[in-house]
Amino acid sequence: MIEVKNLYKSFGGQEVLKGIDYTFERGKTNLIIGQSGSGKSVFLKCMLGLFKPDKGTIAYDGKPYSSFSDEEQRELRKEIGMLFQGGALFDSMTVEENIMFPLKMFTKQRKSEMQSRVREVLERVNLEGTGDKMPSEISGGMQKRVAIARAIVNKPKYLFCDEPNSGLDPKTATVIDNLIQELTHENDITTVLITHDMNSVLEIGERIAFLKDGVLAWKGTKDEIFKTTDETVTDFVYSSDLFQKVRDAQQKE
């Protein structure tokens, strides 16, 4: 669980986050949605410790980040898995080396132990036998699954995903969404996922935070988002054809 209280962040006089209060729940896929420039990435970077908030607290399973010692900050970094936009695999490394990277960085495991863990996660993302391949030799969807395997190889408590579906066809995007959700449930991870993809909201929006101009304008679940009459939310979500179609179909039922 990640609890955010009264979070503020500005850049040179431009207030980007304006007093956000929100709790990201453990064992759930927590989505952040909102227009371009609403502050989603800045919010994520504050939780990753890449930006220091101007005001407010972020607590990881009950412990505020501001009270962490240097050692505790290092420990927290080990507990975070990150799935970057575009996958961001190292092109010059094999699939196995890519996935092993966090293990080498954060653990003192023997090579055989690391290889066995890599095989385990490769199997979990249905990519057994691809360890020796280079990223350029596999499809975009497979690269995403390698990136997911790398993000979970260290058994993270917290998983941050920045638009994990960008650049994927709808079917592959759904496979990736479902995989992230399954891993979240199986391992009781607090997953925070930024998305522009309304299909993802429908598929895995167990908890949704809607940001507007740096303010938390609405929160709820994928079922609630169809029922809300809050115009700030409806203006945003019904600009998506997919949402309109689903709502029209529901109204006909």
Binding site for ligand ATP (CB under 6 A): 11, 16, 34, 36-42
CB of 83 to ligand ATP, least distance (A): 15
CB of 179 to ligand ATP, least distance (A): 23
Q: Whose structure tokens read 């420039």?
A: 37
Strands 29-33 and 55-60: unpaired
CB of 194 to ligand ATP, least distance (A): 7
CB of 51 to ligand ATP, least distance (A): 7
Q: Which amino acid belongs to residue 132? A: D
What is the phi/psi pair of residue 119, to 5°? -60, -40
Minimum CB distance to ligand ATP smaller for 42 or for 100: 42
DSSP state string for the chain = -EEEEEEEEEETTEEEEEEEEEEEPTTSEEEEE--TTSSHHHHHHHHTTSS--SEEEEEETTEEGGG--HHHHHHHHHTEEEE-TT----TTS-HHHHHHHHHHHH----HHHHHHHHHHHHHHTT-TT-TTS-GGGS-HHHHHHHHHHHHHTT--SEEEEESTTTT--HHHHHHHHHHHHHHHHHHT-EEEEE---HHHHHHH-SEEEEEETTEEEEEE-HHHHHH---HHHHHHHTTSHHHHHHHHHHHH-
CB of 9 to ligand ATP, least distance (A): 8
CB of 11 to ligand ATP, least distance (A): 3
CB of 65 to ligand ATP, least distance (A): 19
C-beta atoms surrounding 106 within 10 Å: 15
